[in-house]
Structure 1
Amino acid sequence: MAEMSGVRVLERGIAVLSLLAGAEEPLGVSEIGRQTELSKATAFRLLATLVEHDLVIKDPKGNYQIGPKVLFWAGGFNKHSSLIHISKPYIEELNRRTSETVHLFSYDNRAAYYIHRIESPQKVRLSAEIGVNPVLYSTAAGRAILSCLPEEELRDYLERTVLERRTPYTCADPESLREIVRIARERGFSEENQENEEGIRCVGAAIRNSEGYPVGAVSVTAPEYRLPDERAREFGLLIQGVARQISRHFGFRG
């Protein structure tokens, strides 16, 4: 019983940390309790412990934000992640050649994550938060991953996923999405134009293992006005080549 109680406390602490990591501004204890479905007293006790260990910071107004200790944990992940270590020189070169932001994704257990980025040197640049789950059906990297899934797994994804319109341009029709995925499979790279976020265009390609299964993806993100169709195709071929080079380190020979 005590063991299960400890697990519940851990789960609640993780929920609080996840909430604060994604918050755009510090949150008060009442709001934290509301969003995590915890009583104010429970949230306060958890926060006090997290503050004590530098995982959360309490500001002078009594609000809370994510703390510096998480950087130590993130550094440990980066240090030991073979995908980041192997991909880094390739995506650095891709960033140099495109002058746009490059994102690296991992894909495992049917979930994708942003795990690394190299930002554009240009004044107007776009990037996603590290650790966030991208929406597979509306992002270029996500579609690249979908294009490499076995048919049964792709069908399962399409059947259980509600395709919501994230922007007026988002493809929300399963059959149309399947066609987009088919084209991405044929070309070796995928695109999305303002379908995940207005004003942003992305091109991506999947990183595959020895069995051809996706273990991640690489994408280039730019303002839509800086990435017209012809340039997007050029980037697509570049990204495809980079993804293939990285994939060879994981045994892919396709």
Structure 2
Amino acid sequence: MTGAKNTKSEKTVGALVAGLKVLRYMSKVEEPVGVSRVARDLSISPSTCFSLLRTLVSEELLNFNEERKTYTLSTGLFELAKGALDQDHSLRVIRGEMRRLSLDHRVTVMLFRRLGADRVFLAERIDADAALRVHMSVGQRLPMYIAALGRCFAAFGQIDREVLRERFKELRWESPPPFKEFWADVKNVEKQGYAVDRDHFTKGITTAAAPILAANNFPLMVVSAVGFSGQFDDQKLKALGQDLRNASEVVGEWLGRES
């Protein structure tokens, strides 16, 4: 009797599992894709794949481009994620620190969370109180190792140098730093607790970031501040980096007490 009960409790709905498999796949591809490629990559029949994609579009979890016959993730998916995050008490604590950082330094402050093995997504954003400011949409995805946030994930993510070198080659920078310089920055994060990217990811834009670490020093999230490069001299940038580090440590300690 016990065995039968366990089997029943573990029964899954095949169509739902398949739909979630498609969504996970879509979260990893970096360009719009058509039915044939999705079906081939996931080893499902084109007709089944088409039905799944059409259903996900109707539920506003995917977008469909009529002209190109391709699919991409929809902001509807990120609305679901944001709803879950809004119920997360830890995020409310982090928001308080983000607001303070934004006001004190007149920057847009962003919180990035991991999304799979090599991507992150923007989970929260506090805009700078300025007429001109850098903007990204909540839910937007980025490669995990790009800009200042990437240096933070690399510093504490236990990634091998040569593996990181290969990932680095795939990144799209407007003005890529030499890998030797990037690696030195990564190692420096371990010492000073924050990272800076000035004009490499995007010309004219400076980002500073600090990791929020779990008890085992694994990077759970990264808090990143974004502004125009002309806003910062060396002293202001150092003060911003140190403030990001201090805020991240406060949040990390709070999360440790809650776990």
TM-score by length of 2: 0.72
Q: Residues 108 and 213 of structure 1: is their aligned pair in 2 closer, same or farther, counting only changes over 3 Å?
A: farther
Counterpart for residue 254 of structure 2: 249
Partner SS, residue 201 of structure 2:
coil
| Residue 127 of structure 1: aligned partner | 135
**C-alpha spacing 1:81/1:32, structure 2 compared with 1 (3 Å):** farther
Counterpart of 2:122 in structure 1 is 114
Q: Distance in 1 between matches of 2:86 and 2:162?
A: 34
Report the CA distance between 1:229 and its aligned residue: 2.7
Letter in 1 for 2:139: G
2:112 maps to: 105
Per the TM alignment, residue 215 of structure 1 is displaced from its structure 2 partner at its CA by: 1.2
Query: What is the alpha-carbon root mean square deviation over aligned residues?
Result: 3.8
Does residue 171 of structure 1 match 2:177?
yes
- Contact 1:102–1:120 (CA under 8 A) maintained in structure 2: yes
Q: Which residue of 2 aligns with 1:85?
A: 92
Q: How many residues align?
A: 240
Residue 192 of structure 2, aligned match among 187, 194, 206: 187
Distance verdict in 2 for CA 1:228–1:42, change over 3 Å: farther
User: 1:132 and 1:15 mapped to 2: Cα distance?
Assistant: 16
Q: In structure 1, how many angstroms separate the alpha carbons of the residues matched to 2:219 and 2:66?
A: 46
Q: C-alpha deviations, 1:168-224, integer Å up to 9, x for none?
A: 531242x33221112222222110012112221101111112222221111110122
Change (3 A) 1:143 1:5: same
In structure 2, C-alpha distance between the alignment counterparts of 1:159 and 1:167, rounded to whole Å: 14
The equivalent of 2:217 in structure 1 is 212
Identity of aligned residues (%): 18
Residue identity matched to 1:86: V
The answer as to whether partners of 2:134 and 2:228 remain within 8 angstroms in 1 is: yes
C-alpha change, 1:60 and 1:204, in structure 2 (3 Å) is closer
Deviations 1:4-62 (A, max 9, x none): 7764454335556888xx88xxx9xxx7447746899767644542354344578999x
Give the conservation status (yes or no) of the 8 Å contact 1:189–1:237: yes
- Contact 1:108–1:215, Cα closer than 8 Å, also in 2: no
Aligned counterparts of 1:89 and 1:180: Cα–Cα separation in 2: 28
- Over residues 146-171 of structure 1, what are the superposed CA-to-partner deviations in whole Å (9 max), with x where a residue is unaligned? 22344xx3436425524246335312
Counterpart AA for 1:117: R
Query: Contact 1:164 / 1:172 at 8 angstroms: preserved in 2?
Result: no
Aligned twin of 2:242: 237
- Checking the alignment, whether the CA contact within 8 Å between 1:113 and 1:134 is kept in structure 2 is yes
Alpha carbons of structure 1 residues 50 and 133: separation in structure 2 relative to 1, 3 Å: closer
Residues 35 and 172 of structure 1: is their aligned pair in 2 closer, same or farther, counting only changes over 3 Å?
A: farther
Query: 1:140, CA displacement in angstroms?
Result: 0.8
Contact 1:102 1:218 (C-alpha < 8 Å) held by counterparts: yes
Distance 1:148 1:124, change over 3 A: same
Q: Which runs of 5+ in 1 are unaligned?
A: none
